[in-house]
């Protein structure tokens, strides 16, 4: 698969997940699961782009404007990662959580739009068909490695920690204090 098709497919997957957020009311239990799926899809996607795709485009860009476009893509990734980090704390899927997911969705939509126009055009201009294919294969293999690694990683706990015996007994004492 050539790199542009690979990335376009990833964009479709993430857009589908982001679209589902809009249908959830704050407090909907599905929001936490969606956030987790979006987080892992975007993290892997950004990692392979930054390791293989952007550096190649950076090296091939001769025009200052093209370099600006590549740096813009990196910068948008940094913003997206910051927004993802807000969702990582296993919080309640309340109004604020949904708002942060929506801002993430808006940023991703903007990034995807620019990437599929400006960045893909730069790739078509600076890489030949063979290179686009080779890069795609390399990135697909890296993606599969990262995804199998993240699926093996232990899931974070979202349930509230059980109080220790000491905490529970001091809470009970407080309840009866006059």
Residues at the contact surface with Fe ion, assessed by CB under 5 A: 49
Which one, 20 or 118, has the nearer CB to Fe ion? 118
- Smallest distance from Fe ion to CB 148, Å: 21
- Smallest distance from Fe ion to CB 114, Å: 9
Which one, 2 or 49, has the nearer CB to Fe ion? 49
- Smallest distance from Fe ion to CB 11, Å: 8
- Cβ(34)–Cβ(20) below 8 Å: yes
Question: CA-to-CA distance for 39 and 132, rounded, in angstroms?
Answer: 26
State the residue number with the nearest CB to Fe ion: 49
Residue 129 gets which letter from DSSP?
H
Which one, 31 or 123, has the nearer CB to Fe ion? 123
**Sequence-ordered alpha helix ranges (H) in the chain:** 3-22, 30-48, 54-60, 64-86, 95-114, 120-126, 129-152, 165-176
- Smallest distance from Fe ion to CB 145, Å: 19
Question: CA-to-CA distance for 9 and 28, rounded, in angstroms?
Answer: 27
- Cβ(119)–Cβ(75) below 8 Å: no
- Smallest distance from Fe ion to CB 158, Å: 28
Which one, 77 or 98, has the nearer CB to Fe ion? 77
Which one, 117 or 169, has the nearer CB to Fe ion? 117
With a CB cutoff of 8 Å and minimum separation 6, the contacts of 35 are 87, 93, 97, 101
């Amino acid at each position: 698969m050539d790199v542009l098709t690979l990335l376009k497919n990833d964009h479709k997957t993430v857009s589908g997940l982001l679209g589902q957020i809009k249908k959830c009311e704050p407090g909907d239990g599905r929001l936490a699961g969606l956030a987790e799926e979006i987080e892992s899809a975007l993290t892997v996607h950004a990692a392979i782009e930054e390791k293989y795709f952007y550096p190649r485009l950076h090296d091939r860009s001769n025009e200052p404007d093209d370099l600006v476009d590549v740096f813009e893509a990196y910068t948008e990734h940094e913003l997206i990662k910051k927004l993802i980090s807000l969702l990582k704390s296993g919080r309640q899927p309340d109004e604020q959580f949904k708002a942060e997911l929506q801002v993430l969705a808006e940023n991703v939509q903007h990034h995807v739009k620019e990437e599929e126009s400006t960045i893909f055009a730069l790739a078509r201009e600076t890489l030949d068909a063979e290179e686009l294919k080779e890069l795609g294969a390399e990135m697909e293999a890296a993606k599969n490695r990262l995804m199998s690694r993240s699926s093996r990683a232990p899931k974070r706990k979202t349930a509230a920690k059980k109080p220790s015996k000491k905490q529970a007994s001091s809470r009970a004492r407080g309840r009866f204090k006059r």
